Amino acid sequence: KQEVTQIPAALSVPEGENLVLNCSFTDSAIYNLQWFRQDPGKGLTSLLLIQSSQREQTSGRLNASLDKSSGRSTLYIAASQPGDSATYLCAVNTGFQKLVFGTGTRLLVSP
Amino acid sequence: DTEVTQTPKHLVMGMTNKKSLKCEQHMGHRAMYWYKQKAKKPPELMFVYSYEKLSINESVPSRFSPECPNSSLLNLHLHALQPEDSALYLCASSQDRSRGLNSPLHFGNGTRLTVT
């Protein structure tokens, strides 16, 4: 059974810092990995999707990497801003769009 | 603004009530999903529809009944729910499920359900 873990569970940083969020999964047989952000009481916003054949994807200040063989992905956020405060979730696609979500990292960026 | 619209945003219902959650998307996606999210937990898959046909039911109790009237709409009918069913119910959509293994999911803002 695929299990997805995110470390740390919570992170508090001052504005301007670069930071890394970690995601690990137990079964490397995945189709893709997707990073989402979720604001309190809201739905999920897709940030980046990395296909199983890719090593990384970039969008603005965000960069996600994937090492499928070791079961790890990282989300790098450059020059963090207070508006980045949210819960970040990774999800692995185990086949036919069946996503298994990680436990999430709650990020707080203070001004 | 999300491209997946869910109504209502909040719903309070008694255990004997019957209610429905609605979801709509106009992105031409042919796969639609219901997820359930408890507080401080990740979303859990409930149902998947592909081309208006139910393709995945994650052993969800029969008091939850999904319906996909057309390619843009997805409903979740609720009947005789329990207080532990209180959660955020999220709808999502994606491109064709068979061809689009690598297509991202787009989520709505959810319906916050409270069962009293």
- Mean pLDDT in residue range B76-105: 86
Question: What mean pLDDT do residues B38-55 have?
Answer: 93
- The reported pLDDT for the residue numbered A98 is 84
A51 vs B contacts (CB less than 8 Å): 102
* Pairing outcome for strands A10-14 and A105-110: parallel
Q: Do A43 and B2 touch (CB under 8 A)?
A: yes
By C-alpha distance, the chain B residue nearest A54 is: B102
B39 touches chain A (CB under 8 A): no
Chain B residues within an 8 Å CB radius of A103 = 42
Contact between chains at B94 and A97 (C-beta distance less than 8 A): yes
Q: Which pLDDT value is given to residue B103?
A: 81
Contact check, Cβ <8 Å, B42/A103:
yes
Note the pLDDT of residue A94.
86
CA distance A58 to chain B (A): 15
Residue of B nearest to A39 (CA): B109
Q: Do A97 and B43 touch (CB under 8 A)?
A: no
- Asked if A42's CB is within 8 angstroms of B109's CB, the reply is yes
User: Which H or E run includes B54?
Assistant: strand B53-57
Q: Which residues of A touch B56 (CB under 8 A)?
A: 96, 98
What percent of chain B is predicted at pLDDT more than 70? 92
Going residue by residue through chain A (111 aa), what tens digit of pLDDT does each one get? Answer: 899 999 999 999 999 999 999 999 999 999 899 999 999 888 999 999 999 999 999 999 999 999 999 999 999 999 999 999 999 999 999 887 788 999 999 999 999
**Interchain contact, A99 vs B105, CB within 8 Å:** yes
Q: How confident is the model at residue B104 (pLDDT cuts 50, 70, 90)?
A: confident
Amino acid sitting at position B42: P
Q: What proportion of chain B, given as a percentage, has pLDDT over 90? A: 78
Please tell me the predicted confidence (pLDDT) of residue A22: 97
pLDDT the model gives residue B57: 93
What is the model's pLDDT at position B89? 97
Nearest to A99 among B45, B102, B110 (CB): B45
Question: Is the Cβ pair A41, B97 closer than 8 Å?
Answer: no
Q: How far apart are CA A22 and CA A33, in angstroms?
A: 13
Helix H, strand E, coil C: the string for chain A is CCCEEEECCEEEEECCCCEEEEEEECCCCCCEEEEEEECCCCCEEEEEEEECCCCEEEECCEEEEEECCCCEEEEEECCCCHHHCEEEEEEEECCCCCEEECCCEEEEEEC
pLDDT at A57: 95
Distance of CA B26 to the CA centre of its chain: 16
